[in-house]
Amino acid sequence: IKVNEQLQGYLDYLLRSPTELLVIEAKREDLDYGFTQLVAEMIALDKWERTPEQSILLGAVTTGTIWQFGCLHRETKEIEQGLDLYRVPDDLDPLMRILVQALVA
């Protein structure tokens, strides 16, 4: 995604349904740095992809075995970082429910 010279980057994964987008940032072990990158990607995507039906962009950062979610409230431009960490395989059921719900909402 390239919005301008200051706001550009590569999305690791972008899952899309007809009305919903979900950004996933993959990081080896640093969830904090990964979340910072995820926020930048969601801000860029908000400017690049206008889907008026979706008022919140959902994103996830993952190491592959640990997942953390966050969202960008598009109208107010507020970022919300989830406090829960989901571990694979222990939390696979709730993790999959979140991912599926994000795309069918």
User: pLDDT tens for residues 66-94?
Assistant: 999 999 999 999 999 999 999 999 999 99
Query: Sorting pLDDT into bands at 50, 70 and 90, what band is 51?
Result: low
Give domain status of residue 34, yes or no.
Answer: yes
Give domain status of residue 4, yes or no.
Answer: no
C-alpha to C-alpha distance for 93 and 79, rounded to whole angstroms = 26
Give domain status of residue 82, yes or no.
Answer: yes
Give domain status of residue 2, yes or no.
Answer: no
Give domain status of residue 7, yes or no.
Answer: no
CATH number at residue 33: 3.10.310
Q: Which of 2-6, 27-31, 91-95 shows the lowest per-residue confidence on average (mean pLDDT)?
A: 2-6
Count of structural domains, the chain: 1
DSSP string spanning 22-78? EEEEE-SS-HHHHHHHHHHHHHHHHHH---TT-SEEEEEEE-SSEEEEEEEETTTTE
Query: Sorting pLDDT into bands at 50, 70 and 90, what band is 8?
Result: confident
> In which domain, by residue range, is 89 found?
13-104
C-alpha to C-alpha distance for 83 and 97, rounded to whole angstroms = 17
C-alpha to C-alpha distance for 12 and 9, rounded to whole angstroms = 10
Give domain status of residue 6, yes or no.
Answer: no
**Span 24-40, mean pLDDT?**
92
